[in-house]
Structure formats: structure tokens, C-alpha cells
A and B are shown apart, each in its own frame.
Chain A
Amino acid sequence: MNAIRNFVDKIKPNVQKGGRFHYLHSTFEAFETFLFVPNDTTTSGSHIRDYIDMKRTMSVVVMALVPVLLFGIWNVGYQHHLSHGVMASLWDNIFFGALKVLPILVVSYVVGLGIEFAFAQIRGHEVNEGFLVSGFLIPLIVPPDTPLWMVALATAFAVVIGKEVFGGTGMNILNPALTARAFLFFAYPQDLSGDKVWIAEKADAYSGATPLGQLLTNEPISSLPSASDMFFGFIPGSIGETSTFLILIGGLFLILTGIGSWRIMISVFAGGFALALLFNILGPIVAPDNAYMAIPPYYHLIMGGFAFGAVYMATDPVSASQTNRGKWIYGILIGVIAVLIRVLNPAYPEGMMLAILLMNVFAPLIDHYVVEANIKKRLKRYQKAQLATT
């Protein structure tokens, strides 16, 4: 440790103010603080500080995502081999999946972090850790066959247009990872939607549709994968969204560590389930032909990106509602809107991405009214006190 520290200390003067490579100070700082927690001490206010910092927080989210990624890698291989009718071994599936998924992960991080470093350098800021999570999320919400240049372009769009133009980490309005996904969805719909993209190098004769896609083409409900397959994730889909089980495990980990908002997670599931139940009850009366209404309500929670969105996307602290009461409203509305889009929009079988992005935009408004209620309460108290004195 001392040798590494001495080496870092030797380089440090060169990147500090007045040094030859001062323009690289943010980059140096990012690597230095990755290696060592800094020796900065408190000067004012509280003399002691909690051990938690942004690096710890973000690395906990990444840890929660690791099982989802690993399963995604396996499932990409499994679905590929299944479509070709090959009974592949565990390692064959993982090997194939890794070849597909890891390059996407690498491209996402290299492009995203490259831009983050550049902006930090220009602004003279420290590199923020937010992209550690965004860079991990982007590969998990795209189809396995997404071309790498598209991943690069979408990541660049998300970081520059989705975040940095608003002032960088903590200032963005939309969830950066979902901004990347939305960019791809609208810019390259043929490569990011439909029934051809969810299985990597799929055999032509194989259907390859996700359960939501199957319902769109009015296939009978009995042809859907079993509920357990959908819950455990043995179905085609975006790389990390298929296994509701592992997503929930990650969610529990986030709740237990206090990093993820349980209010948002629970309310998204509750909102989605409640509307799905209502549709399910009303379905036979109002729209007997709508397959989405006919499915059991809990199917909505285990199909598509619902669970992934509820646990990892809706809970983004920057773009979500910030007040506790606001989080309930925000979460319920995401669940409701996601199911609403799925059931009533004939063109788009997945609703989660648009529901979250829409509510990202409304989150500040929700908070505004929540805070306004608190202000009114204080004003009322003031007026009551005024009346009492007159």
C-alpha cells in the first residue's frame, strides 16, 4: 500500500495547480480516489462524518445488479441455443452470452465514462460516480443483438443531452439509462423493438417474441410461457429484464441497505397490479378481444421490463420524486401508466419505459404540491396564531 501511495504522491504535484499536467487533474483525482479514500478532514460543522459516500452508494447498486447481469448473460446464451434447438451446457450458454453482453457493457462504460471525465475536466469538478450505475444499467435494458455503435451513440446521447446539458450529476430531469433506451427506441425502432431482436442470432424459424409481443399479435394466453418461466426469467427479452426473481432479490438488497426507495418499489408494483386487476375484471365487459386485459393481473408484474423498471429505474433518486409522500404518488402513477400503455396502446406492448420517463417529467410537479401542502400548513398555523393575539 505504501509503495502505491508513494507512487501516487510522486505524480500528484504534476496534476495540481501550477503542475505541467494540471489539465488532467479531474482524471487523476478520479483514479486516486478510486484507489484511496482521501485524507481530507472536516473543518466546519460536524467534526465526524458517516463512512458512507457516493462511491459506496453507487457500488451497492452495482452489486445489486450483478446477479441480474450474470443471469442475463446465461439467458442470452440459453435463448440463442434454444432457438436453434441445441441443448447447450451451462458454460456454452454463459460463453455465448458473455460474447454478446460484455462488449455492450464495455462500450457503455468506455463511452459514458469518457464523456463524464471530459466534462469533469472542463468544469473543474471531481468525476461523479453516477455513471457507474447508468453504465451498468444501459446494457441490461437493451436487446442482446443491439449493434455496439448504437450502444455508443445512445450512451453519448444520454450523458450529453440527458445529463450534462442540465448541469451534470444531480441536475438531470430524466433517468440517464432510460434516456439511452428511449433514444434507441425512437431512433432505431427496427433494431430495438418487434419480435426479431430479443434473441441473439436467433434461428429464422423460431418466433422469438417476448410474452408482451405475443399478446400484441393476439396469440392465445395458453401459448405464453409459464408464470414460473416468466418469473424466473427463462424467456426472451432485454438482457437484464427477464428474471423478476433476481430483480426482486436485488431490490430487497437495496431496501435492506437503505439505498433503494422501498416506497417507490412497492407503489409501482401496487399501482400496476391495481390497474391490471381492474382491467382484468372489466375486460370481458368492455373489451373481450383485448388479450392484455384477459391475462391474470400479476402477469403484468413478471412480464417485460416492469419489475426491472420498478426496482432499478423508477428509484433513481435524481429523476424520481424527492419527498416521501411524493414517492408514493410517483410510484403508483408509474405502475398505473405502464399498465395503461400496455393494455390500451395497440402499437407498443411495453409501457414501463415511457411511464417512468413521463413521471420523471412530472416528479418535480408532484414534489411541488407536496411541499406546498407543508407550506400551507405552516401558513395556517401562523394565521391561527395571529388571530389568537388580536
Chain B
Amino acid sequence: MSETITIKQGLDINLMGEAEKVTRQVDTGLYAIKPTDFTGVFPKVLVQEGDRVKAGTPLFYDKYRETIKLCAPVSGTIKELRRGAKRVLHEIIIEPDTQQVFEDFGKADPNNLTREQITEKMLTSGVWPVIRQRPYNVIANAADHPKSIFISCFDTSPLAPDYNYIINGQGVTFQSGLDALKKLTNGKIHLNLKSGVAASEVFTKAKNVQINYFNGPHPAGNVGVQINKIDPINKGDIVWHLRPQEVLTIGRLFTEGRFNSERIIAITGSEVLKPLYIKTNIGATIREILKDNLNEGKLRFISGNPLTGKKIDKNGFIGFYDSQVTILPEGDYYEMFGWVLPGFGKFSYSRTFFTWLQSKNKKYRLDTNFHGGRRALVMTGEMEKVFPFDIYPMQLIKAIMIEDIEAMENLGIYEVDEEDFALVEYIDTSKTEIQELVRKGLDLMRKEMS
């Protein structure tokens, strides 16, 4: 039975540069799989520079879970294995063929396959990593039986892509993905939609799922919030989650028999001249995508949204799980007496700036300045205003700071991920790097508990 859940705590940040609903196909030139996109994965590389790969050829596997393979999103030649400090592998870069060649994994109707056949197919094709699990937000373990699977079909982050637009017309593929997922859990598949918005028929007519509606500001679209409200994670529970484009990737594996890594990416941000949608593949470089479409000046390139995305350089590659690229102005400037000026154009959750008198629909051009210095956690009660979990955020953060594992467990760390603290971090007066702290806490718990 479908539910409608209203979230009161949160904040919608209206930024300039929302993508216009126009999709352009771009030949991006280079693609890369970044092992750093996969939390907790230790890559064992299977290819060398100069090797030829097909779309679906394994590039590396996880040293500790050998069944988890990451495959080439396109066919071509391995151009570079780019490493960082301490030889950590950052990117496996592929120069694509003009004519794409795919590994053949065989078409099949997931309804006629067993759970084992489905997982085997997804693991060998490199499609499996699209499924992530909570707690810890790592690639799901195929041997686990999750109590439910959550698919958040809307994103409330700033400038987020509209999945109703992206997914349109792909009902058969989407349903095929859902059918495969249905075999992977004895529980429900929760398809979560935004209340009060006309959703695509691909979602509303989906079968074998429970449709839930969510109302309220960001982070209503975060899967962590949705899980917390519908089927909260207790100690020992495992819940899997995906985004709609990832369901499509699974669906294509069964309808086409290959790892078709096609993605539609929203190109957003105040510094993009013409924000729009781009049809490309997983791991595309943004160099060609943004060519002649940017403002002048020092820019921040983000794979993902402004609250949780990863910083990349102007020739960087879009992350495996991202459907959005954002370009913002860098904020490396001094502002004289900035802390005491009335601040008519400064968007702030607090009412200490006059912007709270402005229209809620006004769009802002925010930059990457910290707007202050790092301080002790002094202000109380502010985090709770944007954190819709039944969890005490400040107490949990303090437990993480002192690495008190029992307190972290008791205070609900299994239910959260970094992204759930993004708004908390955004409004934090003390300018603490909270998402990083939460990740440290999750990594510590994973190490201690598994």
C-alpha cells in the first residue's frame, strides 16, 4: 500500500543554472572508471595501458570481494592508468572506438531466471556495482538478502536532474530492471516519488513495487531519509538502494544482453552558459561537454550536486553514480566586513541576513567560499532544523569525533550516510567538515563490525 510522507525539516537551496529540458548527444572523447568512486573497494587491476577492451570487459575487481568487478563503460583502448599519491589508482582512462563493441552477456527475461542466474549475470557484466547497500553505502554484497530495496525517483538537491524527464519513454527497460531486482529481495521494492508533481508513467505504471510519495524540502529525495521513514535500518539489517538510471542499466543488461552504460547527465550551475541535459556514457570527461559553454573566471567543477558532489578538474570525469555536473564560481576572495554587512543578496538559512525577506523562488549564485572560520561546535538546535531523521545529529557527530563505537551504534549511525548530513554541514555555523566526519565514522564501524 502506498504511503505519503511529509518531511518538515530541511531546506531547498535555489541556485541559478537549472538544466533546460533539452538533451544533446556529445562525443566526449575520453571515459574513465574511478576506483575512488566505490567506497571500501581495493582495486586489483586487470588491464594495462594499450590494452583493447570491449564495453563490459572487466577493468578491475575488489581485492576483498573478488566477485565485484568494474567493467569498461565503452569499448576502446586503455589510454592511461592514472595514479595519485602512494600509487593509489585514481582513474582508468579509455579512449573509445568510433564503432562501439560490446561483450555479449545474452538477453534474458529476468522473470525466467533464478536469483543466482540474475546475480551471476550482473556480477560478470560489471552492472552489479550500481546496487549499493545501507548501512555504510558500499556496493551491495550479492550473497546478502536485503530486507527491502529503495529506489528514490526524485532528487531534491540543488539543481538536481529531473528523473521524470530522463526516464521518459523507457518503461520496458525500467520494468525489466525492476523484475530483476524483485528476484533479489524477499521484501518490497519501494519506488519513491515526489508528492504533488506529475510523475512519469514509467514510474507510476511500474509493477511489483510499492509506490510511496514524499512531500517536503531537501533532503526528502535522499534515500536515507526515505528508508528512515518507511523501513528503518536496525542493527544487522541490510537495505539496498539505486537511482532510476541505474535500474535502466540493469534493465538493458537483460533486454539487450550487454553492459550499456548510457547515461543522461544534467549540466548545471550558474557558470554554465546554457544548462541542459547530455546523453553520454558512464565516466565521460566533462572537457568536451562543457566546451564553449562556460563563463570566464575561476571555476569549481563538481561531479554531482553542490552539496555532495566530488571536485574534479576541468578535464575530469563524471563519477560512476552521478547524473549531474555542476559548475560554480570559486570563492577565493576576501570580503571586507562581510560578517557584519546586512547581506541582502546572501542566501542563508539563518535569519541574520535580510535574504529571508526575499521571495522563496529567488535563485542565487553561490560560490565555494567558507564564509567564516572553523570554530568549536557551539550553536545547538540548528542541525535538527534540516535533519529529518529521528536521530540526534550533534550527539552522533560528537560520538564519531571521539570514536565511541557503542555510542555511534546507539545513536543511529547505521541509518545515515554522508549525504544525509550535507545540509547540516551547509548551515553549520562552526564550519565543521561534517560529511567527512560521518564517512570516517561509517568506515570505522564497517571495520569494527565486519
Docked complex Cα distance between A50 and B391 (Å): 23
Q: Using an 8 Å CB-CB cutoff, how does the interface string of A150-173 with B read, 1 for contact, 0 for none?
A: 000000000000000000111100
Q: Does A4 make an interface contact (CB < 8 A)?
A: yes
**With contacts defined as CB atoms under 8 Å apart, how many contacts are there between chain A and chain B in the complex?**
211
Task: Tell me which residues from 345 to 395 in chain B have a Cβ below 8 Å from any Cβ of chain A.
Answer: 346-353, 366-382, 384, 390-392, 394-395
Q: Which residue of B lies closest to A380 (CB)?
A: B234
A50 with B336: CB separation less than 8 A: no
**Chain A contacts for B368, CB-based, 8 A:** 41-42, 47-48
List the one stretch of B50-58, B172-180, B281-289, B419-427 in contact with chain A: B419-427
Select one of B326, B343, B373, B390 contacting A51, CB under 8 A.
Answer: B343
How far does the Cβ of B222 sit from chain A's closest Cβ, in whole Å? 14
**Chain A contacts for B339, CB-based, 8 A:** 37, 53, 55-56, 59
Q: Does A35 make an interface contact (CB < 8 A)?
A: yes
B369 with A37: CB separation less than 8 A: yes
Q: Does B433 make an interface contact (CB < 8 A)?
A: yes
Q: A256-B351, A257-B351 are in contact. Are A46 and B425 (CB under 8 A)?
A: yes
B237 with A317: CB separation less than 8 A: no
**Chain B contacts for A84, CB-based, 8 A:** none
Task: Tell me which residues from 11 to 70 in chain B have a Cβ below 8 Å from any Cβ of chain A.
Answer: 13, 15
Q: A54-B378, A56-B340 are in contact. Are A45 and B373 (CB under 8 A)?
A: no
Q: Does A259 make an interface contact (CB < 8 A)?
A: yes
B372 with A128: CB separation less than 8 A: no
Docked complex Cα distance between A255 and B334 (Å): 30
List the one stretch of B81-89, B92-100, B118-126, B305-313 in contact with chain A: B305-313
Q: Does B418 make an interface contact (CB < 8 A)?
A: yes
**Chain B contacts for A43, CB-based, 8 A:** 311
A47 with B379: CB separation less than 8 A: no
Q: Which residue of A lies closest to B339 (CB)?
A: A55
Q: Which residue of B lies closest to A255 (CB)?
A: B351
Q: Using an 8 Å CB-CB cutoff, how does the interface string of A288-302 with B read, 1 for contact, 0 for none?
A: 000000000000000
A257 with B372: CB separation less than 8 A: no
Q: Does A130 make an interface contact (CB < 8 A)?
A: yes
How far does the Cβ of A26 sit from chain B's closest Cβ, in whole Å? 11
B436 with A50: CB separation less than 8 A: no
**Chain B contacts for A390, CB-based, 8 A:** none
How far does the Cβ of A377 sit from chain B's closest Cβ, in whole Å? 7
**Chain A contacts for B445, CB-based, 8 A:** none
Docked complex Cα distance between A239 and B332 (Å): 44
B392 with A371: CB separation less than 8 A: yes
How far does the Cβ of A321 sit from chain B's closest Cβ, in whole Å? 8
B430 with A50: CB separation less than 8 A: no
Docked complex Cα distance between A381 and B231 (Å): 11
Q: A54-B378, A374-B392 are in contact. Are A258 and B350 (CB under 8 A)?
A: yes
Docked complex Cα distance between A385 and B233 (Å): 10
B351 with A57: CB separation less than 8 A: no
Q: Does B292 make an interface contact (CB < 8 A)?
A: no
Q: Does B328 make an interface contact (CB < 8 A)?
A: yes
Q: Does A126 make an interface contact (CB < 8 A)?
A: yes
Q: Which residue of B lies closest to A318 (CB)?
A: B378
How far does the Cβ of B388 sit from chain A's closest Cβ, in whole Å? 14
Task: Tell me which residues from 317 to 351 in chain B have a Cβ below 8 Å from any Cβ of chain A.
Answer: 326, 328, 330-340, 343, 346-351
Q: A45-B435, A52-B352, A128-B376 are in contact. Are A39 and B369 (CB under 8 A)?
A: yes
Q: Does A111 make an interface contact (CB < 8 A)?
A: no
Q: Using an 8 Å CB-CB cutoff, how does the interface string of A45-73 with B read, 1 for contact, 0 for none?
A: 11111111111110110000000000000
A60 with B352: CB separation less than 8 A: yes
Select one of B351, B380, B410 contacting A320, CB under 8 A.
Answer: B380
List the one stretch of A138-146, A274-282, A322-330 in contact with chain B: A322-330
Q: Does B171 make an interface contact (CB < 8 A)?
A: no
B375 with A54: CB separation less than 8 A: yes
**Chain B contacts for A385, CB-based, 8 A:** 234, 237
**Chain A contacts for B382, CB-based, 8 A:** 258
Q: A36-B335, A318-B378, A324-B381 are in contact. Are A47 and B306 (CB under 8 A)?
A: yes
**Chain B contacts for A261, CB-based, 8 A:** 380-381
Q: Does B411 make an interface contact (CB < 8 A)?
A: yes
Q: Which residue of A lies closest to B394 (CB)?
A: A322
How far does the Cβ of B28 sit from chain A's closest Cβ, in whole Å? 23
B235 with A57: CB separation less than 8 A: no
Q: Does B8 make an interface contact (CB < 8 A)?
A: no
Docked complex Cα distance between A43 and B376 (Å): 19
B426 with A259: CB separation less than 8 A: no
Q: Which residue of A lies closest to B305 (CB)?
A: A47
Docked complex Cα distance between A14 and B440 (Å): 36
Q: Does B132 make an interface contact (CB < 8 A)?
A: no
**Chain A contacts for B347, CB-based, 8 A:** 50-51
A50 with B426: CB separation less than 8 A: yes
Complex A-B: 27 CB contacts under 8 Å:
A39-B333, A45-B422, A45-B435, A45-B436, A46-B422, A47-B311, A48-B366, A49-B369, A50-B350, A50-B429, A51-B343, A52-B350, A52-B429, A55-B340, A60-B352, A128-B375, A128-B376, A169-B376, A170-B375, A171-B376, A257-B352, A258-B351, A259-B352, A322-B394, A322-B395, A327-B381, A375-B410
Give 4 nearest A-B pairs by CB, closest first: A53-B372, A170-B376, A37-B338, A45-B435
